[in-house]
Chain A
């Protein structure tokens, strides 16, 4: 049994409707409020069940088999292992400050920061592993046998190296960490291979990086041309003042406008390269959203949230998933007979760490 994907329009298709999603999201919101937030783990699970079950890969829907209880246990674990020690360390270090041991307190705070930094990396890794291990397609799931502890170390040093040359190596660290993460993952019997390159990303990154300078240079050039034409604001009087004021507004606006746009343009390229470098056995992946798609997507999200006075926020998981699936593409072929069950271990707890650090994203 072979399935040749080149014949199809797209391997991934999304069949959900926001009305159906609303019937899940609104009760979720209510239950989350009346349980002081505890229900949100079950809420997330219900939303993913819906989104996955409405997503076709080739000829079969995806299945989300994660449980709310797993996410809850993960959260409790993160709270007991990290939250409580953090509170205690904070109390101790404040006590040390009171006793005049400021240096010791600083050392403890630094250690605490390093530990959190490390665990953030581990959390990213384990969240991906958890999601793959709970995603089934034709009765087959993904996963990883790597607990992610080494990835935590890589996350630390690669991030630092990325920042050291005045943040110029950030694209390298992002791509390199993406590859590290995905190279440890598998689906069924096949291992993912991630070989994305970072160099093609540099142009976009420099664009984002240079926006503040470009705005500044624009201001200087404008000023000089004003001066050269002999019209300083002083001699121009009130007209000059008005021009100056308008110009200041434009400068601030362009900063707040161009910077997010440049960031989205960068992220669009990053995600395209990252997904494009991904391979699973004979399957290759592609993410077709380009910068204008991302920009429209974010503008629409903002409009929805603002126009609904924030309630629209509950539709963001739906919008994110739809955007993701609509632009995902896969090429190649799958041998169904070869696609056997994953041998990877299944962790019993969910994305507790990631949840605790508030970094859940696609």
Chain B
């Protein structure tokens, strides 16, 4: 079988434009110039390059710059041998634009859903050794800022034991940092900042906050948030800069609200179990809402603060704790007056502990 068809050709070696005839012989073809014959070339090596002016432009596998430009009506036998034009790109062209758009939408929605929902059941699967190593790497000795006195440690230990059934998995410390805050970090690390302990009016208040942080640890919020952040960063990585970060922040914010509510519920339950009145915690939130701003410095930071539990101040949290008061129940204080004094003055007594962050944090 042989057929002829006029076309333009570049051989890819020089910029000379050649007017050629395409001679088809089976699955191969030659390009005939007046005095030269180029080829044979296999149709299986022909690639679609682009469309320009009125011509479809084809290239040849392995021949840089080789071009065959066909314009006008192409004979059907030649057309049948040539690769299909590329428009949107492989997948979209194969599916068709409409179907591809729907398929991509579903796939994207599924990807986001997986990233948002999977941390809840993925986090418990992370071995606790990984969690502990991460915690150790992050916290270490906290730059020597942990306060310790025998009596203060004993008081803290008693408080933790009353709030949690397995206090051995937890590392609760008081850090000599003058901020009204507390954080839960990987590896069961809970850090109360001295500023929070100092301004508390009763041990019950500290117990409520501590139980809240233990709630984050027990509900695996820290690892969940870490996984979710990483997943969102990957999935939304395709969207450029600001809009991706905005969506990311909004999604993780809504999840951190849920986590806070869960931790609060855990706190109320633990307080109830330990027979400690939630009224202290309620009045603590009440005072914090007036102090607004002083304790929320870590909420807007990225990085560590992203998975560090932060404490947004709100009136509704105070109301929730107030509602959890059981009337007529015989509450007892979380610590004896002596123990409370020891805990409160632990950082003042421990002169070895370094203070602050080593530089101005705010």
A pairs with B = yes
Most buried by B among A46, A54, A68, A100: A100
The chain B residue with its CB closest to the CB of A360 is B240
Complex-state Cα separation, A139 to B139, whole angstroms: 61
A37 lies within 8 A of B12 (CB): no
Q: Is the interface of B mostly helix, strand, loop or mixed?
A: mixed
In the complex, A34 has a CB within 8 A of chain B: yes
Residues 109-131 of B, flagged 1 when their CB comes within 8 A of A and 0 if not, give 00110000000000000000000
In the complex, A299 has a CB within 8 A of chain B: no
In the complex, A36 has a CB within 8 A of chain B: yes
Residues 336-362 of B, flagged 1 when their CB comes within 8 A of A and 0 if not, give 000000000000000000100111000
Q: How many residue pairs at the A-B interface have CB separations less than 8 Å?
A: 143
Q: Smallest distance from the beta carbon of A37 to chain B beta carbons, Å?
A: 3
Q: Which of A83-91, A252-260, A263-271 contacts B (4 or more CB under 8 A)?
A: A83-91
A residues in contact with B139, CB < 8 Å: 98-99
Q: Which of B62-70, B205-213, B283-291 contacts A (4 or more CB under 8 A)?
A: B62-70
The one of B53, B138, B354 that contacts A61, using a Cβ cutoff of 8 Å: B53
Complex-state Cα separation, A27 to B235, whole angstroms: 22
B residues in contact with A95, CB < 8 Å: 137-138, 140, 304
Q: Which of A115-123, A153-161, A167-175, A337-345 contacts B (4 or more CB under 8 A)?
A: A337-345
B15 lies within 8 A of A35 (CB): no
The chain B residue with its CB closest to the CB of A72 is B238
The one of A42, A90, A140 that contacts B88, using a Cβ cutoff of 8 Å: A42
B354 lies within 8 A of A100 (CB): yes
Which B residues between 137 and 182 are near A, CB-CB below 8 angstroms? 137-145
Q: Smallest distance from the beta carbon of B108 to chain A beta carbons, Å?
A: 5
Known contacts A36-B236, A37-B244, A358-B240, A30 near B101 by CB under 8 Å: yes
A139 lies within 8 A of B65 (CB): yes
- Count, chain B residues at interface, CB 8 A: 56
- Count, chain A residues at interface, CB 8 A: 54
B240 lies within 8 A of A37 (CB): yes
Known contacts A37-B238, A91-B304, A31 near B88 by CB under 8 Å: yes
Q: Which of B27-35, B44-52, B267-275, B309-317 contacts A (4 or more CB under 8 A)?
A: B44-52
A100 lies within 8 A of B16 (CB): no
Which B residues between 53 and 77 are near A, CB-CB below 8 angstroms? 53, 57, 59, 64-67
Q: Smallest distance from the beta carbon of A147 to chain B beta carbons, Å?
A: 20
27 A-B residue pairs with CB within 8 Å: A27-B88, A31-B104, A34-B104, A34-B108, A36-B236, A37-B238, A40-B238, A42-B89, A52-B50, A63-B49, A95-B137, A97-B358, A99-B139, A99-B140, A100-B354, A101-B143, A102-B358, A137-B15, A138-B15, A139-B15, A140-B65, A337-B15, A339-B14, A339-B15, A340-B14, A342-B64, A358-B240
Name A residues whose Cβ lies closer than 8 Å to a Cβ of B. Answer: 1, 27, 30-31, 34-40, 42, 45-46, 49, 52-54, 60-61, 63-65, 68, 79, 83, 87, 90-91, 94-95, 97-102, 136-141, 188, 334, 336-342, 346, 358
Name B residues whose Cβ lies closer than 8 Å to a Cβ of A. Answer: 10-17, 49-53, 57, 59, 64-67, 87-89, 92, 97, 100-101, 104-105, 107-108, 111-112, 137-145, 233, 235-241, 244, 303-304, 354, 357-359
